């Protein structure tokens, strides 16, 4: 059985709901950075908060 394998990287963003995390996501979006899988990490204080992710072109 052959799986669909992507060459796009797996990316983890620590502090995704904070200012630096938001800037990191915006920069990746502006540069068209392709992501195979995204792991968004935040502290317990951020539970329930949302983060804007990039456009659907990826």
Give the dihedral of Cα atoms 20, 26, 27, 29; nearest 10 deg.
Answer: 150
Place of tokens 């502090």: 15
Percent of the chain with pLDDT over 70: 79
Number of other residues whose CB lies within 10 A of the CB of residue 37 = 10
Does the model's pTM come out above 0.85?
A: no
Dist CA 19 CA 6 (whole Å): 30
Mean pLDDT of the chain: 81
Residue 12: is its pLDDT beyond 90? yes
């Amino acid at each position: 059985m052959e799986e669909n394998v992507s060459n796009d990287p797996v990316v983890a963003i620590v502090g995704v709901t904070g200012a630096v995390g938001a800037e990191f996501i915006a920069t990746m979006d502006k540069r068209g950075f392709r992501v195979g899988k995204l792991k968004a990490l935040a502290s317990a204080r951020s539970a329930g908060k949302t983060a804007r992710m990039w456009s659907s072109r990826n």
